[in-house]
Structure 1
């Protein structure tokens, strides 16, 4: 398209009159009368789309029951502001604004009564809007939004920042209210992307570094300061990353549409941006944004030579693993220091269940860490912020169920620093500055992230194994729990590992933890009808849950597992009651509803375990999450094949990433739903258990036993 054909009307017209893709989540009201002429309705719908592009609802909605009525607190370095009522209410909103007064407020930051607006309202960006878009937005706000009477709250700015006359000087120094001027040498797509990024999208408000007067150092990528545009800035404890030379246009469009792509997921304030704004943009607009950002020259945070190159070193197989038990080394692509450093073991315990040992994440579920821009950044603010407060993915039309990462503020400052340094070394930049414990402490104080515990359960730290004299044996025991199937293929007959049921290597409350367990053996086992040892109990899991063969009693592998349990015993005595032991109980008076169980499975479980219970694998063909039925699952002799045992486990441990509970966001179903879904999946086809005839020789068999 030539320069002559790229004009103001075409820039504005490239946006659809209405977003046909925005019907699932709809927080922008459409309240206009059906009696309006078609042309006026079309203008209002176009204005509604423009309002989405500008993300008006995110700042101007303090209460979801009063959209656009203001009242949202906006923290600034100079005090607190409250967003204003922009509904057409005449007494407290903008109902009395003429178009000229509205246009002046949007372009010059001056309200109808002559007051200067604080530039927390990004009028320096909105000044670039075309006249057509401004007219459409005005029509929508005046005729498409329901009026709400809600008085505006006064700002809480201290002297001298409460003196608004100073904003006139600020505008004189920094405001350019010239509408966007298309560049003749660029394509129509590039110009549309530049218009959206520089103007309505006001991306620079967060992503462009600020000057001494809190002004954006530049409003465009051109000119002597052009290298600062979208080069990254820290906002409210989050690192708004550099957007220069971003991914492919399609990858950027995917992130803005869905909140995630193969490089990561949005966090911080970007969650609201995607949820309220970008997911509703047309594909052509999203691709235009992606094309424009890709065309910006790389900045300091974007230099490709700073990325850790090539695959991570492969981990060695311990010498004790026999030729028969050692898997093909090519199966692994995990960092060599995963089991050898405090940061690696911390990552393994608290992060790998979602992000995986190789940092690859789970396709379309949990983000990969390789090359993640938060790991590449010099500034670790976003990483520390997420570790301390957690985050939730946006609810979008493609991902209606939000996924959460819980807060890890329970961990110590040095623990968090160790984990972040491990991830940055292995999947970010080899030359990344070290995160210090004092950095974590400083942001913890700012965010008031205390990490208070809701129960007395003490989570043992796998990293502390490195302090012990038998550290090598303990680490091997932990690894056998986590990678059971790969390290012991002769003994495991399905796709499960010990950690499939004993979460995070047996360190999660109500996730069948190993804490104190060795103190209770030998003990009488009703299913066996005799007193059994800890070794017997471990081998019982190999026979039943893993549908395999027992380990030799004198094997290094079994000794390593027992050593791990003994280490987690701590000071527990046989008569003690251990907090968080087992998986809890659930009432057997609750009668299962299989039809509801299937619905619950589809809604909450299929994401990780497959639509037909088949489990999921990664691109290398390795198991990520195990199947819940079929030949690769546990057999009918396993405890998880019993409805109420499975229900108790599900109630407290599944699904993960459902809320903010430490450490996996696990649990959250009602008792009834847990029983229903447990009945559904436990009674699906699965392997038989031939020795079942020997079970419960003396004691009463449980009512929910499968045989």
Structure 2
């Protein structure tokens, strides 16, 4: 409902009790108006702690003129609106005038609420008075700068910009269009964020009619987020799906829009969502965004940008973005949003893209998609690096966006002041390979790790790539990184019972983890893989300790609970690896995420087939998108959960390893070996 139904003393009046149906209708209208989002303090508030009481106010609202705090709109008679008569409530909602006669700031979108019908206003009032429990919580004073802290000027603002005429259906349009227009222009107050503002911070248009109508919902930048043009943005089906689930084939909700979907639109009736989408689709394209294609974009799996592996921006994208958004920019349906055709990427003003990249984001948890996925912030990367990656994304897959400059990133960083990951592990930058005289060989070696199955089909017998275990092509701390590894070869391997070379170790992975065949040690591809390892060695010496090397350890005294592992798998792993461990495939049948058991998975000779090795990997690296840890949001399960789920999936049926009889000829075999 916005920011300001102030609870002030008025003549006590007692509204006649409304019937239950009216109260329930008002409850629905309050969801349509998203009252709870503004009138509930954010989790943590100013002093930390849990989210505030619903509708009791206290949420801070930043404006260009200072800070406002939302007010208590519960029916408490001392601090809430319990003494408001309907007439006083109606005046506040339509004219922005509180019970004692002072003006409300238009951060409370009363210019939009003025369009509500009398019947809906009565129902909303009934719900707030009878459907909410009163909460005694005093309102916080605003912190507006002079002269904006002087409210008398708001009377002039209202005189100039406020139209209190309720919504009038357009007789030339059908009922579905009119219902959508009513919800968008009125209760939904979509224009409060998505309509450009004038010099007096007024919305340039409150509806689509008249000469000013071209401005309505044409896009605006709010609190460093780009509220996109909503005019004809998607198909009716795509828009309705987005409002219901927070996702569609083009995007996932972010920023303030995620809250709108969480608190409001996911709860709307299907017919109302279709009405909203129908109305928006009928609006011609906005003035501030790129034209919407007449035919919806189709992302073609496997259509890779030509400079994906030959530009700094492309290699930066490969390193930090591909695991979630894929080489073709298609994302992972119902998990990670696509970047090809994504409106936040297409927008002329890349504010939302910059905001998310610097601070991170999270998909909204809805009834349709209860599992939220997080994207960590990448503020650890330098301004120039981020500019290269974002420019690549905006120019690829037909997006056609302009480049982002390092200076643009710098300014947004200063405005947002994002937290920066301070871990000691310094991730090597794949983009730096281009400066090497051996750049072509190094890139080939990296690609052999990233796309092992596609590039070496004769040597890979399952659905895995090296990067399935060595995350981001071997650049993630505790994700079996390749950093410094080649310095430790040749070296003694207990499983082999002898000194082995790096080539031996690589071929061991081909035979075990990928259930395939070894590469000839002198082949160009083996040399490329070794060259990539050597480039990752840097200045590492055999006696050095490399931070983040391997996958860490986990307490072997923890006893696995397979039944709990089954539950953890279903809750946290199945979305990417399949209900029955079969993996996740894209439309053309290629694997997105690998199977964890079955014929297309690793065999019993792989290290990941051992409970405690798998548990250590899971503890630090799975699931991805779980929180804000750089660079994949990886890890987050407890030690017990990691052991439980590792025991569960590692002991599922998988291929045999005939050469197992040769393992550990001199040293003691680990207790958790599968044979």
TM-score, normalised to structure 1's length? 0.91
The separation in 1 between residues aligned to 2:150 and 2:455, in whole angstroms, is 69
Q: Unaligned 5+ residue runs, structure 2?
A: 1-14, 43-50
Preserved contact between residue 457 and residue 579 of structure 1 (Cα < 8 Å) = yes
* Residue equivalent to 2:85: 98
What does 1:578-593 correspond to in 2, within 5 Å?
Answer: 578-593=546-561
The alignment status of 1:437 with 2:421, answered yes or no, reads no
* Residue equivalent to 1:702: 670
The separation in 2 between residues aligned to 1:450 and 1:654, in whole angstroms, is 23
More divergent stretch after superposition (163-172 vs 368-377): 368-377
The separation in 1 between residues aligned to 2:69 and 2:17, in whole angstroms, is 36
The separation in 2 between residues aligned to 1:349 and 1:236, in whole angstroms, is 30
Preserved contact between residue 334 and residue 369 of structure 2 (Cα < 8 Å) = no
* Residue equivalent to 1:377: 347
The alignment status of 1:107 with 2:74, answered yes or no, reads no
SS of structure 2 residue aligned to 1:90: coil
1:309 to 1:83, Cα distance in 2 relative to 1, 3 A: closer
The separation in 2 between residues aligned to 1:157 and 1:310, in whole angstroms, is 47
What does 1:156-195 correspond to in 2, within 5 Å?
Answer: 156-195=143-182
Q: Hey, which bits of structure 1, 4+ residues long, moved more than 3 A?
A: 36-39, 304-312
The separation in 2 between residues aligned to 1:362 and 1:264, in whole angstroms, is 11
Cα deviation for residue 309 of structure 1 reads 7.9
More divergent stretch after superposition (360-369 vs 233-242): 360-369
Q: CA RMSD in A?
A: 1.6
Preserved contact between residue 242 and residue 299 of structure 1 (Cα < 8 Å) = yes
1:308 to 1:557, Cα distance in 2 relative to 1, 3 A: farther
Cα deviation for residue 332 of structure 1 reads 3.4
What does 1:422-461 correspond to in 2, within 5 Å?
Answer: 422-427=392-397, 429-430=399-400, 432-453=401-422, 455-461=423-429
* Residue equivalent to 1:28: none
Cα deviation for residue 516 of structure 1 reads 0.4
* Residue equivalent to 1:408: 378
Instruction: Give the one of 43, 54, 68 matched to 2:22.
Output: 43
Deviations 1:18-43 (A, max 9, x none): xxxxxxxxxxxxxxxxxx99971111
* Residue equivalent to 2:321: 351
Preserved contact between residue 259 and residue 265 of structure 1 (Cα < 8 Å) = yes
Preserved contact between residue 373 and residue 626 of structure 2 (Cα < 8 Å) = yes
* Residue equivalent to 1:689: 657
Deviations 1:636-655 (A, max 9, x none): 00000000000000000000
SS of structure 2 residue aligned to 1:420: helix
Cα deviation for residue 401 of structure 1 reads 1.3
Preserved contact between residue 107 and residue 123 of structure 1 (Cα < 8 Å) = yes
The alignment status of 1:55 with 2:34, answered yes or no, reads yes
The separation in 2 between residues aligned to 1:343 and 1:518, in whole angstroms, is 27
Cα deviation for residue 310 of structure 1 reads 8.1
Preserved contact between residue 299 and residue 340 of structure 2 (Cα < 8 Å) = no
* Residue equivalent to 1:303: 291
More divergent stretch after superposition (41-50 vs 443-452): 443-452
Cα deviation for residue 434 of structure 1 reads 1.6
SS of structure 2 residue aligned to 1:260: coil
SS of structure 1 residue aligned to 2:186: helix
Preserved contact between residue 619 and residue 637 of structure 2 (Cα < 8 Å) = yes
Q: Unaligned 5+ residue runs, structure 1?
A: 1-35, 313-330
TM-score, normalised to structure 2's length? 0.95
Cα deviation for residue 427 of structure 1 reads 3.0
Cα deviation for residue 305 of structure 1 reads 6.0
Cα deviation for residue 228 of structure 1 reads 0.6
What does 1:403-552 correspond to in 2, within 5 Å?
Answer: 403-427=373-397, 429-430=399-400, 432-453=401-422, 455-552=423-520
* Residue equivalent to 1:659: 627
Preserved contact between residue 328 and residue 397 of structure 2 (Cα < 8 Å) = no
| Number of positions where the alignment pairs a residue of Structure 1 with one of Structure 2 | 652
Deviations 1:4-58 (A, max 9, x none): xxxxxxxxxxxxxxxxxxxxxxxxxxxxxxxx99971111111000000000000
* Residue equivalent to 1:641: 609
More divergent stretch after superposition (133-142 vs 364-373): 364-373
The separation in 2 between residues aligned to 1:491 and 1:332, in whole angstroms, is 21
The separation in 1 between residues aligned to 2:537 and 2:267, in whole angstroms, is 53
* Residue equivalent to 1:202: 189
